[in-house]
Amino acid sequence: MAAKIIDGKAIADKIIEGLKEKIDGLDKKPGLAVVLVGDNPASSVYVNIKSIACEKAGIRDMKQHLPENTSEEEVLGLIEELNNDSDVDGILVQLPLPKHIDEHKIIEAINPLKDVDGFHFTSIGNLFINREKFVPCTPKGIIRLLEEEGIEIEGKHAVVVGRSNIVGKPVAMLLMNRNATVTVCHSKTKDLGEETRKADILIAAVGKPKLITADMVKQGAVVVDVGINKVDDRLIGDVDFDDVKEKAGYITPVPKGVGPMTVAMLLENTFEAYNK
């Protein structure tokens, strides 16, 4: 039997609608400041998507766009201003930053109470010790998709392919916090298929089109495809969707799977920051 396709777009829309209902009733609306430095085309697209989402939820879009040649000092100065501005509930610095700016220094300057992207050491530390506060948006969105579908995590063998700081490592931690047995694979893993075939829950976060083929998936597994790869002007994932969907129990599509959940979780984190 073919897999159930998890409709991330519909789940994200429902979450945003729920937030809007709560925010509509507030006198003062939550504010999100997305900081973009320079004109990286992909970053500009992402920032735009976030602005549209803010509008849908009724969150004030307090976007800050600085020119490419802005100095590290000036970016730190802006972060300080946003930290002290009571109208700003959440701060997100769009990555990557231009090469002359130290990313870590900028992220660490954000007040952890406004760290809606969850990349500050304080947020990562809290995740590590299972005191989740602001959780990075893509990993949080993946877990929410599983929860919304009623997929149990406890006791399951989860295999995460990819060990990045923004997806692979935090999602592995979230799964561990929920009592899954977790294997993390990466570019130096010897036999990837041997590992992925053990997965009850398989998360692919690599950035290589169709890396995960049907022979690498256990019958009935839950397959979450985080990858976004542009091939011939089309977006495709890290999973060979057409073949794998015939074998998996659940599968997320690309697009309209994990992507919309990332944005919904950013709005949710902003609302949480407002309530704190």
Return residues touching ligand NAD (CB under 6 A).
Answer: 138, 161-164, 166-168, 185-187, 189, 192, 205-208, 211, 226-229, 258-259, 262
Q: What is the nearest approach in angstroms of ligand NAD to the Cβ of residue 263? A: 8
- For residue 94, indicate whether it is catalytic: yes
Structure tokens, 206: 């690599």
Question: Rounded to the nearest whole angstrom, what is the least distance from the CB of residue 186 to ligand NAD in the complex?
Answer: 3
Nearest residue (beta carbon) to ligand NAD: 164
CA 32 vs. chain centroid, Å, equals: 17
Of 260, 226, 274, residue with least CA distance to 14: 260
Q: Which is nearer to ligand NAD, 69 or 187 (CB)?
A: 187
Best CA proximity match to 117, nearest among 154, 146, 150, 79: 79
Quick one: 5 or 113, whose CB is closer to ligand NAD? 5
**Which of 94, 218, 225, 245 is an active site residue?**
94
| CB closer to ligand NAD out of 76 and 192 | 192
Least distance in angstroms from the C-beta of 18 to ligand NAD = 20
Task: Single out the residue of 256, 259, 254, 231 nearest to residue 244, CA to CA.
Answer: 254
Does the annotation mark 50 as catalytic?
yes
Can you tell me the distance from the alpha carbon of 235 to that of 224, in angstroms, rounded to the nearest whole number?
16
Q: Tell me if residue 219 is catalytic.
A: no
Catalytic site residue from 7, 89, 115, 117: 117
CB of 119 to ligand NAD, least distance (A): 12
Q: Which is nearer to ligand NAD, 120 or 210 (CB)?
A: 210
Q: Shortest gap between Cβ of 229 and ligand NAD (angstroms)?
A: 6
CB-wise, 213 or 229, nearer to ligand NAD?
229
- Provide the annotated active-site residues: 50, 94, 117
